[in-house]
Amino acid sequence: MNEAMGKNFRRQRRARRLRNNLRRTSDSPRLSVARSLKHIQAQIIDDAQGKTLCHVSTTAKDLAESLKGKKKTERAAFVGGEIAKKAKALGIEKVVFDRGASRYHGRVKALADAARAGGLKF
């Protein structure tokens, strides 16, 4: 296995291990974060029903105007605030944070901090 395939495999395994643990131990919805080099998205998932309750992404056309001119970390914080607003509208106050295979720093941390400031409890 070459180096690139090994890194990708380890990343997928890390995410799978984290998600399996979250699903087993929690009855709260899961706040899942997906990050690419350019964009970030967050969604709240109810694993018991297997449904996505709400989601926010930097690729959404309705948010394009408010994200214009912001840096990636600022965009992540904005997405965190928006997902908190949508969750509060649905009556969700407590979630479990699923960072996937990403480390908890930078954009992922900014999103989590903004979601906490918006009223979500992790």
The answer as to whether 122 is a domain residue is no
pLDDT tens per residue, range 32-41: 999 999 999 9
The answer as to whether 31 is a domain residue is yes
CATH number (domain holding residue 53): 3.30.420.100
Q: Which long-range contacts (CB under 8 A, 24 or more apart) does 44-53 make?
A: 44/83, 44/86, 44/87, 44/90, 44/92, 44/95, 47/23, 53/29, 53/87, 53/90, 53/92
In the predicted structure, residue 1 carries a pLDDT above the cut 90: no
Query: How many domains would you assign to the chain?
Result: 1
Question: How confident is residue 26, by pLDDT bands cut at 50, 70 and 90?
Answer: confident
The answer as to whether 79 is a domain residue is yes
